[in-house]
Amino acid sequence: MTTSPLRALPALLLPLFVLPVAAQDPATLKREIETALIRAAESGALGEGSQATTLQDEARVRYELGAVVDLRSAGPGLPVLAVTPGAAASRLDLRPGDRLLAVNGRPVGSSAESLQQAIDTGNGRLAAQWLRNGKPMAATDRADAVAVPAYRLLVGGEAATGCGFVSDKQGVVPKNQGIFRAEITRIDGRSTPLAGNFEYRLPVGRHVLRVAEHIDRNRLSVGQATQIALTTRRMTGTQQYKTLVVDVKPNTTYRVGVRFFKDKLDNDSIRRNAYWEPEVWETRAQACR
C-alpha cells in the first residue's frame, strides 16, 4: 500500500484508518502535512496556540493491513470500506462489507491507534477474524511492512517577533456606525473557552477566527427577527459562523465585531447569511510579553 511519511503523525488525525496517499513532490507532501495539522488543531490535539508541540519519532518499521475501515461505526467489529489490491487484506480475502473483529488475537478498538497496535503485535504476522454476512471467518498471512523515516516536527509556539491580542469584548462597539458585538468561537481551529475570555493572546502572524454575530434583535422588525431565527435553526453549525483572517502585529490588540448591513434584510439575503460580516473595528497598542 502506498503511504507517505505523514502516516507517522498521530493516528487520531484521520477519521478513517489507512487512507492511501501519494505525495509525489514536496509541495504535495507539504499540503498533506498541513491538512493533517489542521485536523489535529481542530481536534484539540495540538494544545494552546501559544504553546509549541513537538511531534517526533525514530525511524521504524510499521506493519499495515491495507484496508480502509470505518472507525465511526458501532460494533460488532469495524466495517471494511475498501481493500487495496495485492495488499495483506486482499491476500486474507477481506472484502468491502465485512466486519473486522480481531487482529492477532486482539479485538479491534474504535481508534486507529488501537487497530495499529493490534497489527504491530504480530511483528509481521497477521491473523484476522471477521464477519461476512454474519458468518465468522479467519485467515493468516504476512502484514505489509513500510519504513517510516525519523521525523521531528515543531508545531505552533510564538515566534521571536512577539505577540499580540484579539478580543471580542474590549471596548464599547460603535453601534451608530453599524458595528455590533461578535463572539470569537474558534481561533486557528481551536475552540475558545465556553465562558469566554477578555482577550486572546496570539503569536505574531496571520490567524483565522471563527465568528458568530450578536446583533441586537431590537434593531430588526418582528418579521426579520423571525426569519433570522428560522434560518439559523435550519443551518448546520458551521453555516452560522463566518471566518475572519487577522494579521497580528507585535504589541497590538485587535477588537473584533460584526458589521450589520441594513440593506440586506430581505428573505434571500437572510437565508444566505449575507446581512453581516465580521471585521476588526479598532486596533490599539498593547504591550505583550
Total residues found in the chain within this entry = 289
Which tens digit of pLDDT belongs to each residue from 246-269?
A: 999 999 999 999 999 999 999 999
Distance CA 89, CA 248 (A): 49
Residue 172's pLDDT is what? 92
Which tens digit of pLDDT belongs to each residue from 148-196?
A: 888 888 776 655 578 999 999 888 999 999 999 999 998 988 888 876 6
Read off the C-alpha cell for 79: 466495517
CB atoms within 10 A of CB 8: 20
Read off the C-alpha cell for 160: 521571536
Read off the C-alpha cell for 269: 439575503
Which residues in the chain belong to E strands, given as ranges?
16-17, 53-57, 60-64, 67-70, 78-83, 99-103, 106-107, 125-132, 135-142, 144-148, 151-155, 163-167, 179-187, 190-191, 200-203, 205-214, 242-248, 252-260, 276-285
Residues of the chain with pLDDT under 70: 1-24, 44, 46-51, 156-160, 195-197, 237-238
Residue 284's pLDDT is what? 95
pTM exceeds 0.85 for this model: no
Distance CA 155, CA 10 (A): 13
- The H-assigned helical ranges of the chain are 26-43, 88-92, 112-121, 222-234, 267-271
Distance CA 43, CA 226 (A): 34
Question: By C-alpha distance, which of 90, 65, 86, 73 is closest to 7?
Answer: 65
Distance CA 100, CA 92 (A): 12
CB atoms within 10 A of CB 40: 20
Residue 18's pLDDT is what? 38
